[in-house]
Structure 1
Amino acid sequence: MSPLNTIHLYQIFKNLDKNGDGLVSIDELMWLLERIGIQCRRDELELLVGDKALDTMDFLFFYETLVIKGSNFYQEKCKVEGEDQILESDLRKAFRVFDLNDDGFISSEELQIALSRLGLWDEQDCEHMIGVYDTNKDGLLDFEEFKDMMCA
């Protein structure tokens, strides 16, 4: 999948800001992370965020930090031997977030539903998103194709 643009991030921020106060709280961030299958302790997230809540600019910065560090993190983990078991476990958890019917494949419909639930779908072409990493051209992402996408 491609990185999110500013419009997507504002939409996510708006959807996360459940009480409409212009801030995304630690609780609201925890909710998002749990929805996408990431387990994080509250105190760890507070340390990472450095505050009790994020305004839109802080949220954008938080995302950029995660994308840059996260991208490097996954790329390094993909290259480092001995980390394969941890990476595999993390990626399987992430894969299950999108494989809604648990058949071992992510279809464009499942991708659309999962992105919608996360407040990320704005009529993006999910078939095209899948097609970029669908090496066997069956219209679905299997786990290996998903792993290639995440380690790209």
Structure 2
Amino acid sequence: MNFQKILVPIAGVALVALAYRGFGWAGVAAAVGGLMMWLLLHFTRMMQVLRRTANRPIGYLDSAVMLNAKLKPGMTLLHVVAMTRSLGALQSEKDAQPEVFRWTDGGQSHVTCTFVGGKLTHHVMVRPEEPDSPPATGELPPAP
């Protein structure tokens, strides 16, 4: 169960109650103002991330290797979208848990991320196989 969905509203109500007890209605006004500022900051960040992703192709990123190096379990989907500046291509069924998204770069390497409850649980990077090339012999090719 996601306790954050329960504890944050309880903490907000407790903050307002403590502000009323300590400072009266002026404290309530200050506490509610602070809570509204906090909510507006989070909303503004979310809108800024989505604005940056609006003009990018879905599921594309600049470097899958760099994304793979930066990912850590527990990151939110919004944080990953902010890092890639692109919405991930949904690989799982819509509104089903876990959610699986994929981001692919120009070299066809891709990172597949699994989110449960909006948090990253694990990720896998896949690079395309390189074609077989002749072994280097250390000799220069013949001159024309």
Q: How high is the TM-score relative to the length of structure 2? A: 0.29
- Choose 1 or 2 for highest CA Rg: 2
User: Which of the two has greater strand per residue?
Assistant: 2
Higher relative contact order (CA 8 A, sep 6+): 1
User: Which of the two has greater helix per residue?
Assistant: 1
Q: How high is the TM-score relative to the length of structure 1? A: 0.27
